[in-house]
Amino acid sequence: MDMTVALIAALNPKLSWYAARASGLIAWALVTLSILWGLALSTRLVRRRGVPAWLLDLHKFLGTLSLVFVGVHIVALWADNFVAFGPRELFVPFASSWRTGAVAWGIAATYLLVAVQLTSWAMRRLPRRLWHSVHLMSIPMFVTATLHGFTSGADGANVAVQWPAVTGAVFVFLLVSLRVLAPRRRPRPVASRPAEVPRGAEPSAAMFRGRSADPPAADIPTVDPTVDTPTVDTAAKVAALARIVESIAGGVRPT
d(CA 240, CA 244): 6
The three-state DSSP-derived secondary structure of 189-215 is CCCCCCCCCCCCCCCCHHHHCCCCCCC
Q: Report the pLDDT value the prediction gives residue 59, as an integer from 0 to 100.
A: 85
Average pLDDT value for residue range 65-82: 90
Does 184 or 22 have the greater pLDDT score?
22
Q: Report the pLDDT value the prediction gives residue 38, as an integer from 0 to 100.
A: 86
Each domain of the chain, given as residue ranges in start order, spans: 2-181
List, for residues 11-38, the tens digit of each pLDDT value: 566 788 889 889 999 999 999 999 998 8
Helix axes 128-135, 100-121, angle to 10 degrees: 150
Q: Report the pLDDT value the prediction gives residue 11, as an integer from 0 to 100.
A: 57
Does 155 or 76 have the greater pLDDT score?
76
List, for residues 84-98, the tens digit of each pLDDT value: 888 898 999 998 888
